[in-house]
Amino acid sequence: MASASSVSQPDPPVAAVSQPPTSPSLEVSMDTSSLLPPSAPIMDTARSAGDSPVQSASHKDEPESMETDAVQSEKTLQSQVDVDSGIDTMEVDDVDQQRAEAKRKRLRTPVQCTEDARTQMLSTLGRILQVSFGEQQPDRLSLQHLQLDTDNEDAKDLLSEILVEVLVLIQQSAENPLKGLQRPAGHSSTSPSKYTSHSSVLPTRQFPFDKFQPEQCRETDMINYLLDCYERVSLEERNSPKTASAPAMCELLSDVRGQCVYHTTLVLRGRFSVNRVEKKSSSLLLAFLLNDNLPPAFLSELVFRTSDDPDTFTHVFEPILRGLVLTMRRLSFDTHDYKQPLVVLSALCDIKVGNTRPLCNLIVRQSNWLPEPITQAVGMELEKLSFLGPFFGLSVFADDNTKVVEKFFSNPQMTAANARLINDTLQHSMQFAREELFKIMHTILVNSETRDAAMAYLMAGVTRNQKRSQIQTDERLVCGDGFMLNFLFVLQRLSVKVKLDKVDPFYLNNPRCCLSVKDDSRLHATSAQVAEWVAQLDNDPDHRWESPKFPTECYFLTLHCHHLSVLPIIRKYQRQLRAIRDLQRIIEETQNLESQWRDSPVAMRNKELLKRWKSQVKRLQKAKLCVDSALMDECLLQHCLQYYATTAQLLIRLVTPANKHPTLPLPQAVPMVFASLPDYYLEDLAEFILFSIQYQPGVLADSSMNDFVTLLIVFICTAHYISNPYLVAKLVEVVYVLNPGVQRNTQQVNNTLLNHPLALAHLVPALMKFYTDIETTGASSEFYEKFTIRYHISIIFRTLWEIPVHQANIIQEANSGQQFVKFVNMLMNDTTFLLDESMDTLKSIRELQELRENKAEWDKLTQEQQQSKQKQLSQEERQCRSYLTLATETVDMFHYLTERIQEPFLTPTLADRLAAMLNFNLQQLCGPKCNNLKVRNPEKYGWEPKKLLNQLTDIYLHLDKSSKFAEAIANDERSCRMELFEDAVLRMVRAQIKTPSEIERFRTIQGKVQLLLIEKNQAEEDFGDIPDEFRDPLMDTLMTDPVVLPSGTVMEKSIIVRHLLNSQTDPFNRQPLTESQLQPGDHLPSVHSGIGCT
């Protein structure tokens, strides 16, 4: 054998080998005795043959000879390589000498195998390892130069030596020696893998993913060869099942698998590397994993055979994990490549050895598993620096990753059909990624050794993103929207099997709770009250704080994650829609005025502004399309809905004694375990339902909606359980939006709610009470916000009025007490204000329209003045639409209520004010200044004067069943004029909005009022001037039923009661005052006698 050049001494663990000579086939000899590890039980070829849980084989005891130890020693010598020292450096003479000594030992060992069996095993070994031991063959490497004694030497004894020789040959050859081999006869490919090449016998596996190509080096060729050898074992077993099942052959095939795995480990550790700098950030095996072309069971066996040696295991798999993280950072949903790292990581985590998962243990030991925060951007650090951050960070949001928007949404004007198709594609991608993320996290959680680390990561994902709940969030400090939605999905899946019975409702106040809510407003308690309650629990000997268990922690983590993920995204989405609408409106208005500024000095600036605004609209529309694909995902919304259903159940349980089915009314005292909860628990639930109803009503077709229905009824009808009235208003808004007249496709849920037994008995009085209670909330914007809330209640009442049971409840409530009087009083207040404001804005609109149409006057204005007037007109139009919408609904409510209910409207407290309101608005519609209400395109604002006149006059007719109403009309000194009634009759006749009989009835009312006015005037003449002591100090009218206030002031009872309906205070000193504190003025002198004496 020719002498090989010496191998220079390397820096461990990488060995440097000199350039191979011209004839590598003559210079690849190497003695493996110098590569033995001091102690490595998993490297024992004989033992490894049968220990793998993945690939098992039948073993049969064979007779042992007196030289078994020598055989075993030599087999170990031939099968192991020192995992610490690398390839030892030695002169070729020493290599030859040690090889000869190993050969002599083998020859002294008796072979326990028949000649035919040995021949068959050698033939099988040659096919699998692709080598020949004799003459050169075109489809195999010739190892004739090794001078192996194949006649006397066992095939298993040759295995390790052959593998080492082939690997060294690959390393030392200028070109891969396997390249020139021909396809073996009868074989279509070297292995049955779908990824191996079918074009040649070359052991190069296919790599279909361009982004996951392997490094071009000798080590890659070695791994290719070892993997193909491993897979050819399976081919042998399939092609010759009977032969492969023989004990000796079965053991040989198992040994081949074990040695292929073992030598792959050596390659990965650099034991065959020459002049190659090891890459710490990646692994040679990573490309094979990402291209899914490893033989079945190879990965599991690799884990099994290395897991007993921590150093080897870490050295093999840590680069793979680092490479997966780095790879994931470069990927997005713009291609399907993102799937591969997720699937690989999931598969790695799932591999078990005994009762443990070695890869899970290794992952949580990584320094970047949960790195400590180093800046204020604790959330963003979690996404960018943690091990799982890049995996959870997969996102379709434009703010997170621009690749998706550039590929799918470059044209924001795409058709709805195309948008749906793209959304379906992206949603399937997101669902796949989230399922894999759940598998990964679930696997780490169920592995007992890594459970605490997994919970710490889940806790960090929530606690480090608390700032996402703020209205104005610095998004540079927190995780992105995509990360949070993926994180939420995992928590939702983990919470699916959590039973509410296992959830500790006291957890948030538990000293060992990891979630902080101390700065959050509570449902019905202050921070001081909560602290006092917790202190009482601490001192209560019967109370014991439970140690937080997984169901409790997981449930509350999921609840808080909703607050930090899907709810902020919903709010941001709605702000985005408003921004698009506002920009489009500004663009439209500016373009409409182009004729006015085209030739002005500001023309260039306006053109630049238009260009900028259009660019912003396009960018926002692209971002909106991205959000649509993420947020309009029915699967995501369904999971949220189902989880929030359990939240509804939990909240109801906390306020229902003994956890029974809820009954109303609830106890007056609010349980502190409920009162101490953050109020956003309920607010988030309501906001989510509102969003779903508006944008994805299809998700409401779920049985879990019954829980929401119960929750809505319970807390609307028990509003005092919630401190924030706007939170109750949010629940009312949900009921309003469920109305089919407001939102289609909600008929079923709306029917369920309105026909619920609790709603049938309690909803009407609760809504009436809340209608009045919302008058004062303490907020600076309460005056305007109350109109929107009352509008929602008005729409609900209109629906209730159509249901006989609820209509009967309304009538019963109207006839039974003071609550209805307060309700009608607020209704009158709103109607008066809204109609007044509507009329005023209509007059302003008319004036501005006339000014704009008067070209002479309009041209006198400067361009700035013209633009100012145009903006004023737009603002007036918006306000007019709003006021008329609200006013129309309140008048409509008056109309249908007075048709069936009259007496409560005619009480002394209400009758005069109601008549005055009707008279004033009738004067606005029919008086001399009614022409000021004529505007261009009245339907644009919802202005229907004929309908309004018809409803107002109907109310007159409805209430004319008692003489009290005519008296109330006659008492109105501001608007009551006989001419007014004449004008009204003329307009009704002209507009044909009343039948002749109805007009005649209206004239009858006019006649009654006229007679009463004559009597009233006569009485005033008879009485003369009224002394001051008999005048009401507030309204300066004659007192007929005086009462005494606690301050000593005497007032007319109907006037002070009317005032108390609006404000429970003394009108003169603002001290609290209720009707029960009023004292009758029986001791006062008779008004009529006093006036007569005077």
From residue 3, alpha-carbon distances to 6, 24, 88, 98 in Å are 9, 11, 17, 14
Residue type, 354: G
Looking from the CA of 207 toward its CB, the CA atoms found within 13 Å total: 17
What is the pLDDT confidence band of residue 31, given thresholds at 50, 70 and 90? very low
Say what the pLDDT of residue 1028 is. Answer: 78
Beta-carbon count within 10 A of 536 CB: 11
b/e string for 752-790 if b means 16 or more Cβ within 10 A?
bbbebebbbebbbbbbbbbbbbbbebeeeeeeebbbebb
- Between CA 167 and CA 144 the distance in angstroms is 16
Q: Is residue 533 part of a domain?
A: no
For the ranges 44-53, 279-288, 1002-1011, the lowest mean pLDDT is seen at 44-53
Domain range enclosing 645 = 634-666+675-694+704-794
Judge if 661 and 749 occupy the same domain.
Answer: yes
Judge if 613 and 688 occupy the same domain.
Answer: no
Say what the pLDDT of residue 780 is. Answer: 67
Domain stops at, among 224, 249, 278: 278
Residue type, 320: I
Q: Is 155 exposed, middle or buried (0-12, 13-18, 19+ CB in 10 A)?
A: buried
Q: Is residue 237 part of a domain?
A: yes
Domain count, the chain: 6
Supply angle C-alpha 849, 855, 858, rounded to 5: 70
Judge if 482 and 615 occupy the same domain.
Answer: no
Say what the pLDDT of residue 136 is. Answer: 76
Judge if 971 and 839 occupy the same domain.
Answer: yes
- Between CA 693 and CA 691 the distance in angstroms is 5
438: its two tokens: 């759940």
Domain stops at, among 759, 794, 829: 794
Per-residue HEC secondary structure of 211-280 comes to: HHCCCCCHHHHHHHHHHHHHHHHHHHHHHCHHHHCCHHHHHHHHHHHHHHHHHHHHHHCCCCCCCCCCCC
Q: Is residue 862 part of a domain?
A: yes
What is the pLDDT confidence band of residue 66, given thresholds at 50, 70 and 90? very low
Say what the pLDDT of residue 1093 is. Answer: 47
Judge if 942 and 1073 occupy the same domain.
Answer: no
Judge if 850 and 882 occupy the same domain.
Answer: yes
Judge if 683 and 624 occupy the same domain.
Answer: no
Say what the pLDDT of residue 1023 is. Answer: 63
The pTM score is: 0.84
- Between CA 480 and CA 569 the distance in angstroms is 10
Say what the pLDDT of residue 19 is. Answer: 33
Judge if 98 and 231 occupy the same domain.
Answer: yes
Q: Is residue 1006 part of a domain?
A: yes
Q: Is residue 373 part of a domain?
A: yes
- Between CA 948 and CA 951 the distance in angstroms is 5
Domain stops at, among 1023, 1056, 1078: 1023
- What is the helix, strand, coil percentage profile of the chain, to 5? 65, 0, 35
Indicate whether 394 pLDDT > 80.
yes
Q: At what angle do helices 247-268 and 155-172 cross, to 10 degrees?
A: 30
Contact between 183 and 284 (Cβ < 8 Å) = no
DSSP 8-state class, residue 354: T
- Between CA 27 and CA 1 the distance in angstroms is 7
Judge if 741 and 866 occupy the same domain.
Answer: no
Say what the pLDDT of residue 594 is. Answer: 86
Indicate whether 719 pLDDT > 70.
yes
Q: Is residue 811 part of a domain?
A: no
Contact between 583 and 542 (Cβ < 8 Å) = no
- Between CA 555 and CA 504 the distance in angstroms is 10
Read off the CATH number of the domain in which 1051 is found: 3.30.40.10
Which one, of 248, 274, 200, 227, lies nearest residue 13 by Cα? 274
Say what the pLDDT of residue 1024 is. Answer: 62
Strand-pairing partners, residue 797, are: none
Contact between 665 and 548 (Cβ < 8 Å) = no
For residue range 776-800, list pLDDT tens digits in order: 877 767 778 899 999 999 999 999 9
Residue type, 934: K
Which one, of 38, 113, 40, 36, lies nearest residue 75 by Cα? 36
- Between CA 580 and CA 621 the distance in angstroms is 7
Indicate whether 1047 pLDDT > 60.
yes
Average pLDDT over residues 619-644: 96
Residue type, 666: L
Say what the pLDDT of residue 1005 is. Answer: 93
Indicate whether 83 pLDDT > 60.
no
Say what the pLDDT of residue 778 is. Answer: 72
Supply angle C-alpha 739, 743, 746, rounded to 5: 65
Q: Is 993 exposed, middle or buried (0-12, 13-18, 19+ CB in 10 A)?
A: middle
Which one, of 62, 40, 42, lies nearest residue 250 by Cα? 62
Which one, of 388, 390, 408, 389, lies nearest residue 398 by Cα? 408
In Å, how far from its chain's centre is CA 341? 24
Q: Is 417 exposed, middle or buried (0-12, 13-18, 19+ CB in 10 A)?
A: exposed
Pairing of strands 131-132, 1079-1080: unpaired
Please, which residues have CB within 8 angstroms of residue 1080's CB and are 6 or more apart in sequence? Answer: 1043, 1044
Say what the pLDDT of residue 659 is. Answer: 66
Say what the pLDDT of residue 112 is. Answer: 52
First-to-final CA distance of the chain: 149
For residue range 481-519, list pLDDT tens digits in order: 999 999 999 999 999 999 999 999 999 999 999 999 999
Supply angle C-alpha 166, 169, 170, rounded to 5: 90
Judge if 857 and 785 occupy the same domain.
Answer: no
Say what the pLDDT of residue 281 is. Answer: 62
Q: Is residue 536 part of a domain?
A: no
Question: Phi and psi for 522 in degrees, rounded to 5?
Answer: -105, 170
Q: Is residue 9 part of a domain?
A: no
Higher per-residue confidence, 1037 vs 919: 919
Judge if 227 and 213 occupy the same domain.
Answer: yes
Q: Is the four-CA dihedral 891, 897, 902, 905 of positive or negative sign?
A: negative
Judge if 1076 and 980 occupy the same domain.
Answer: no
Say what the pLDDT of residue 1006 is. Answer: 92
Indicate whether 92 pLDDT > 90.
no
For residue range 798-849, list pLDDT tens digits in order: 999 999 999 999 999 998 877 898 899 999 999 999 999 999 999 999 999 9
What is the pLDDT confidence band of residue 864, given thresholds at 50, 70 and 90? confident
What is the pLDDT confidence band of residue 35, given thresholds at 50, 70 and 90? very low
For the ranges 103-107, 296-300, 305-309, 646-650, the lowest mean pLDDT is seen at 103-107
Indicate whether 82 pLDDT > 60.
no
